Structure 1
Amino acid sequence: MNRLVIAIAAVVLLLVLLLSSIFVVDERQRALVLQFGQIKDVKEEPGIGFKIPFIQQVVYYDDRILSLDTASLEVTPLDDRRLVVDAFARWRISDVERFRERTGADGDFAIIAGQQRLQTVLNSALREVLGSVTSNTVLSADRVALMNQIRDQAARETAELGIEVVDVRIKRADLPEQNLEETFNRMRAEREREAEDERARGQEAALRVQSLADRTATELRSEAQRDSDIIRGEADAARNRIFADAFGQDPEFFAFYRSLSAYEEALQGQNSTLVISPNSEFFEYFGGDQIEGSARAAAGVRPTNAPVRTESNVPAPVGQ
């Protein structure tokens, strides 16, 4: 009976020892085998591993890509416009042994310590990179290049920690609350100044166009006036030439025509009154003889008592 109990106890002890020496590594984990705080083995592949029971222990670390949301950080770009920046990072443990040595902790405590170290590095990289550009660059599409630069700088500084920085993104970059009103006023003033400049340039262009139009109109009027004066002068010259030819052909009819034109100009309207001597030369053609003579001159008829000149090819008698 005693032997049976001893045998059962031995079997149970062997099972306990066997189970205590076996550990399983999940595909999402990495494991370190420690003996009195010293690393004896690294299990990076998923599967079953063995250790010395009660002497060695296994510490597990997450092998997945982890996230870290940084606290709000105030940075000052080149133009001295302070910005409040929120960022997040994606990272993973690349070297388990180095990570444990640098953090000095195991398991979840090591993850927390690693995140604290990583946040310190990220804050430093954010201040350095964003402080080398203007705030407009941070708020523009160039932010992607800045984030890549921050990621590369943080990856170089955390490589000795056994950490691989996969990605860094800026979630928010805003002005502090106390600077918003001042910034809005400055932006409003800049827009008003630009509007004034645009209006001034428009007014200048309008004046330039108006002056050009006025000059063109003056030139056109001058040319038209010049042409009209030339045409009027030519017409007056032609009229005077016609009058001169008419006067040369029949002076009496020309005088009669001029008198009639003078009567037409002077005696207009129903109440025209002239105080003038009846014997004045102005009424020369109001007499019957003058009118009759002028009418005959207009018709081309000579008076009856006018001498008649005849021409003949028959020679006159000699001595007569």
Structure 2
Amino acid sequence: MQGRWPIIAGAALAVGLFLLANALFIVDERQRALVLQFGQVRGDPVEEPGLYVKAPFIQNVVYFEDRILPLDTRALEVTPLDDRRLVVDAFARWRIVDTIRFRQAVFDEAAAVPRLERILNASLREVLGSVGSDAVLSDERTALMEQIRDDARTSARELGVDIVDVRIRRADLPEQNLQATFERMKAEREREAADERARGAEAAQRVRANADRQAVELVSEARREADVIRGRADAERNAVFAEAFGRDPEFFAFYRSMRAYEGALQGGNSSMVMSPESEFFNYLRNPNGAPAQARPTQ
């Protein structure tokens, strides 16, 4: 009998350690836990990290994430008030806040994702369907995302979940509408460009017409002033000639004849046929202007 005591003690120790191992459980800072007995929740949720005790064998522990979890949805087609369909790609961040309700409603995180995706899609359709597409594509998107979050949060509370944030990655036109929209935008820009070119051509024509008018006016004014100056100069010249002729008619006649000789008797191939007795040659025959004496012939 004495030789069996060590075996009994070792077996008892092993059983005790086994019972202790099944009675203790650990919850770390990233988790929250529920103690279940025959599938029913016993006690309050364990939300603080530490070492806890449960009844061995008849109780078990299920763990849930205490961190913020992602929810990525598939692209969703929505129709705003102006009937311009948009393809919206959104995502959300959520967290378990009521562990018991979450366990009863969706059982675990994997089963919660489809439910939350349906809630988010319904909120997207409801909120974005109440505004125009311009609001979705403008700075108003931030306010719309907050409204979507608040709407989805109300529905998600029934699952023991809090929707922390909702974001819209992109909101684009459907692929089949992109080309038509591009062509419409292109035609609009081409029309605006044609209007700008027409206005520019009209302005250029006005500038050219004004410049031509000013050029004609300037040339006409310059010619008028030149004619006036030329007339005054001719008048002064004639006055000088008249005064000179009045003072010494004989010298004036001599001067006029010299100018006539200078202009007529130039080198070149020009020929002039005149009578030797012409008055044109008076000062060539006689410096005093008298007819020259006929020279005797030999």
What SS does the aligned partner of 2:93 have? strand
Structure 2 unaligned regions, length at least 5:
291-298
Residue 47 of structure 2 is matched in structure 1 by 44
Structure of greater Rg: 1
What SS does the aligned partner of 2:26 have? strand
Percent of matched pairs sharing the same residue: 61
1:100 aligns with 2:103: yes
Residue 307 of structure 1 is matched in structure 2 by none
| Contact 1:83 1:174 (8 Å CA) reproduced | yes
Residue 27 of structure 1 is matched in structure 2 by 29
Q: 1:263 to 1:194 in 2, by over 3 A?
A: same
1:82 aligns with 2:82: no
Residue 188 of structure 2 is matched in structure 1 by 190
Q: Deviations over 1:64-121 (max 9, x none)?
A: 22111101101234554322222222221122234335xx232x3xx23432232123
TM-score by length of 1: 0.69
Deviation at 1:216, TM superposition (A): 3.2
CA distance, structure 2, for counterparts of residue 78 and residue 291 of structure 1: 117
1:217 aligns with 2:215: yes
Q: 1:67 aligns with which of 57, 67, 70?
A: 70
Q: Deviations over 1:145-175 (max 9, x none)?
A: 6545544443454345432323333334333
| Contact 1:85 1:174 (8 Å CA) reproduced | yes
Q: Which amino acid in the other structure matches residue 168 of structure 2? A: I
| Contact 2:149 2:164 (8 Å CA) reproduced | yes
Q: Which amino acid in the other structure matches residue 207 of structure 1? A: Q
Task: Provide the alpha-carbon RMSD of the alignment.
Answer: 4.1
After superposition, residues 158-307 of structure 1 pair within 5 angstroms as 158-255=156-253, 257-258=255-256, 270-271=270-271, 283-287=278-282, 292-294=287-289
CA distance, structure 2, for counterparts of residue 183 and residue 289 of structure 1: 100
What SS does the aligned partner of 2:120 have? helix
Structure 1 unaligned regions, length at least 5:
296-320
CA distance, structure 2, for counterparts of residue 234 and residue 289 of structure 1: 35
Q: 1:288 to 1:38 in 2, by over 3 A?
A: closer
Q: Which amino acid in the other structure matches residue 24 of structure 2? A: I
Q: 1:80 to 1:246 in 2, by over 3 A?
A: farther
Deviation at 1:252, TM superposition (A): 4.3
What SS does the aligned partner of 2:106 have? coil
CA distance, structure 2, for counterparts of residue 290 and residue 162 of structure 1: 142
CA distance, structure 1, for counterparts of residue 46 and residue 56 of structure 2: 17
Residue 134 of structure 1 is matched in structure 2 by 133
| Contact 2:32 2:48 (8 Å CA) reproduced | yes
CA distance, structure 2, for counterparts of residue 87 and residue 156 of structure 1: 18
Bigger mean CA deviation after superposition, 68-77 or 51-60: 51-60
